[in-house]
């Protein structure tokens, strides 16, 4: 009898405690019983029973038939797994209790599918002090829930989870990409019974886990499973929820620089405290944070800052630790409120990290909103340099489609800003020759070399009305109503209680006799 070794036949491959490979014909080799290298694809699970080794896939695939774990480290420590593709299991990599101080690096885990009602999990940890670095986990689907018998509801669909930590501490999860997770469809309900709920989809799930660090992970396209169809005269099951990060009784962690996207909930926190959460990009279509019995720190102080929240609506006209000093800093002036005990004190105006070449206009103000034809108006444009280079560029201010010509004869101002610097550029608009009517004031900061985010190089301020000198209420006629406005402001200067910049017709910073004379000269006029 000749026995021909055929690895494709499929059999669990063990790296035994003594260093041997079982079965010996498997597509794994080692010369020193420390580094184990794949020499071809492996068509079943790999079970690691030996500590202090490296398993290097060198690009080969470990492929299953839908059940079990691709690579299972059975409680032995200091095991590194790297450079392979794992597909068609229920769990990609399992680091069981005691599988500490290991490393999972450059692994692509894809096409995991839970069986009937079962969960699909990319990397499952019940262990400590591991580094999970630069892995891609994609296309995981929870199993379809079982159908119910007569008058029994359908079972819930299985959940789909990218990385799952339970009772795990001190792990570093860095630069992992998790995408396209779908919860299992709920089971069909029996007659007179509802369909089962769809399974949830979660990027990273932590339960009873402390002191872990999550940095630079990206989670996108997470979708809860569809509810099962209800039986006769019964309702369908609920759709499963999706979460980017789910923390249950998980505390004292650092969560920074992650990008959380397209989930029902970016953060779902239950009884999880003392976590520090900053420099994350939080883009939820529905809920940015669900917070229950959890108190956490949502920024890293000033000027390091907090997180980018896609639904933040604040403005950036101030800077400083109290956000009360004039000038921008790329941080919203008002905190991002989560609940009565939680807020991000320094929400970013743009996603993290900011580009190295990026300037933006953060505000435009005008010295007044109503100006007599032929008089001057001051327009203040504030620009901030988000990048880390000194930039020199031009700023042009427009009224409707006309670029405003400055005293220099040019229609732009040249500005130099160092990294993180803010500047307000004031220009005078002489309204001589401009027709009476409303003008939209806007500004354009000419893009700098290497700038990609040019959306904020355009900024539209408010309206300014050019009218008959002496028309102070903007109704295009000079009448008693205007005289009353001038009388109320008479004698005032900027900062005084009665100060009204529109009443300072000649713009000399006092409402006085010279303004009264102008109003008197036009009294009774109207346009058209």
Interacting residue ranges for Ca ion, rule: CB under 5 A: 316, 318, 329, 331, 333, 358, 360, 453, 456-457, 471, 473, 475, 482, 504, 506, 508, 515
Q: Report in angstroms how near the CB of residue 49 gets to Ca ion at its nearest.
A: 55
Q: Report in angstroms how near the CB of residue 471 gets to Ca ion at its nearest.
A: 4
Nearer to Ca ion, 344 or 482 (CB): 482
Return d(Cα 154, Cα 138) in angstroms, integer: 27
Nearer to Ca ion, 118 or 316 (CB): 316
Closest among 18, 10, 93 to 53, alpha carbons compared: 18
Return d(Cα 159, Cα 225) in angstroms, integer: 8
Cα distances (Å, whole numbers) of residue 379 to 382, 429, 436, 460: 10, 7, 18, 12
* 337 strand-pairing partners: 343
Return d(Cα 39, Cα 56) in angstroms, integer: 10
Return d(Cα 281, Cα 217) in angstroms, integer: 10
**Which helix (H) or strand (E) is 522 found in, with range?**
helix 513-522
- Both tokens of 432, joined, read 């001589």
Q: Report in angstroms how near the CB of residue 319 gets to Ca ion at its nearest.
A: 5
Nearer to Ca ion, 249 or 500 (CB): 500
Nearer to Ca ion, 153 or 360 (CB): 360
- Both tokens of 112, joined, read 């995991």
DSSP string, 30-71: -SSSSEEEESS-B-S-EEE--SS-EEE-TT-EEE-SSSSEEE
CB 347 within 8 A of CB 308: yes
Strands (E), 345-407: 359-366, 370-372, 376-385, 391-399, 402-403
Q: Report in angstroms how near the CB of residue 303 gets to Ca ion at its nearest.
A: 10
Q: Report in angstroms how near the CB of residue 400 gets to Ca ion at its nearest.
A: 22
Nearer to Ca ion, 57 or 461 (CB): 461
| Residue 414 backbone dihedrals phi, psi, to 5 degrees | -95, 130
Nearer to Ca ion, 150 or 322 (CB): 322
Q: Report in angstroms how near the CB of residue 385 gets to Ca ion at its nearest.
A: 9
CB 97 within 8 A of CB 127: yes
CB 165 within 8 A of CB 123: no
Nearer to Ca ion, 50 or 522 (CB): 522
- Both tokens of 148, joined, read 């119910």
Q: Is 17 left (phi over 0), alpha (psi -120 to 50) or beta?
A: alpha
Q: Report in angstroms how near the CB of residue 333 gets to Ca ion at its nearest.
A: 5
Nearer to Ca ion, 11 or 425 (CB): 425
Q: Report in angstroms how near the CB of residue 190 gets to Ca ion at its nearest.
A: 59
Nearer to Ca ion, 118 or 329 (CB): 329
Closest among 170, 244, 251 to 200, alpha carbons compared: 244
Q: Report in angstroms how near the CB of residue 398 gets to Ca ion at its nearest.
A: 17
Judged on CB neighbours under 10 Å (0-12, 13-18, 19+), 22 is middle
Q: Report in angstroms how near the CB of residue 360 gets to Ca ion at its nearest.
A: 4
Return d(Cα 234, Cα 227) in angstroms, integer: 12
Q: Report in angstroms how near the CB of residue 12 gets to Ca ion at its nearest.
A: 55
Exposure letters 282-320 (e unless 16+ CB within 10 A, then b): bbbeebbbbbeebebbbbbebeebbbbbeebeeebbbbe
Nearer to Ca ion, 105 or 456 (CB): 456
Return d(Cα 144, Cα 255) in angstroms, integer: 33
Q: Report in angstroms how near the CB of residue 429 gets to Ca ion at its nearest.
A: 17
């Amino acid at each position: 009898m000749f026995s021909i070794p055929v690895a494709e036949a499929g059999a669990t491959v063990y790296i035994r405690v003594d260093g041997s490979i079982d079965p010996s014909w498997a597509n794994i080799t080692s010369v020193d019983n420390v580094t184990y290298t794949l020499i071809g694809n492996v068509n079943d699970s790999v079970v690691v029973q030996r500590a202090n080794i490296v398993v290097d896939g060198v690009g080969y695939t470990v492929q299953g038939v839908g059940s079990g774990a691709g690579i299972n480290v059975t409680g032995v420590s200091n095991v590194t797994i790297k450079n392979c593709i794992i597909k068609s299991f229920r769990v990609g990599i399992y680091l069981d209790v005691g599988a500490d101080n290991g490393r999972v690096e450059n692994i692509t885990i894809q096409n995991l599918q839970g069986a009937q009602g079962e969960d699909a999990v990319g990397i499952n940890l019940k262990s400590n002090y591991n580094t999970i670095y630069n892995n891609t986990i994609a296309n995981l689907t929870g199993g379809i829930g079982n159908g119910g018998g007569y008058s029994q509801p359908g079972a819930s669909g299985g959940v789909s989870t990218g990385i799952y930590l339970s009772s795990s501490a001190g792990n570093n999860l860095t630069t992992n990409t998790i995408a396209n997770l779908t919860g299992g469809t709920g089971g069909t309900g029996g007659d007179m019974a509802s369909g089962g709920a769809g399974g949830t989809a979660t990027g990273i799930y932590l339960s009873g886990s402390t002191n872990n660090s999550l940095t630079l992970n990206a989670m996108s396209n997470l979708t809860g499973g569809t509810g099962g169809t209800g039986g006769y005269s019964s309702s369908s099951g609920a759709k499963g929820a999706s979460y980017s990060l789910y923390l249950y009784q998980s505390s004292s962690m650092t969560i920074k620089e992650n990008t959380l996207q397209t989930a029902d909930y970016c953060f779902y926190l239950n009884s999880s405290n003392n976590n520090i959460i900053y420099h994350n990009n939080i883009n939820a279509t529905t809920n940015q944070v669900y917070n229950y019995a959890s108190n956490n720190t949502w920024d890293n102080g000033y000027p390091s800052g907090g997180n980018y929240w896609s639904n933040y609506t604040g403005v950036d006209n101030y800077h400083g630790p109290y956000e009360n000093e004039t000038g921008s800093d790329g941080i919203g002036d008002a905190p991002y409120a989560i609940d009565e005990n939680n807020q991000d004190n320094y929400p970013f105006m743009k996603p993290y990290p900011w580009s190295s070449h990026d300037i933006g206009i953060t505000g435009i103000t005008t010295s007044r909103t109503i100006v007599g034809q032929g008089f001057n108006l001051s327009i203040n444009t504030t620009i901030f340099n988000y990048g880390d280079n000194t930039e020199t560029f031009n700023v042009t201010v427009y009224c409707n489609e006309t670029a405003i010509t400055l005293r220099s004869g040019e229609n732009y101002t040249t500005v130099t800003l160092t990294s993180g610097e803010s500047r307000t550029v004031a220009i005078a608009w002489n309204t001589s020759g401009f027709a009476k009517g409303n003008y939209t004031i806007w500004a354009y900061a000419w893009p700098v070399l290497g700038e990609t985010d040019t959306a904020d190089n355009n900024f539209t301020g408010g309206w300014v009305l050019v009218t008959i000198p002496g028309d102070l209420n903007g109704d295009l006629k000079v009448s008693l109503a205007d005289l009353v406005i001038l009388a109320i402001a008479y004698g005032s200067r900027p900062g005084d209680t009665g100060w009204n910049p529109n009443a300072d017709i000649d713009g000399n910073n006092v409402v006085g006799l010279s303004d009264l004379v102008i109003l008197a000269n036009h009294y009774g006029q109207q346009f058209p």
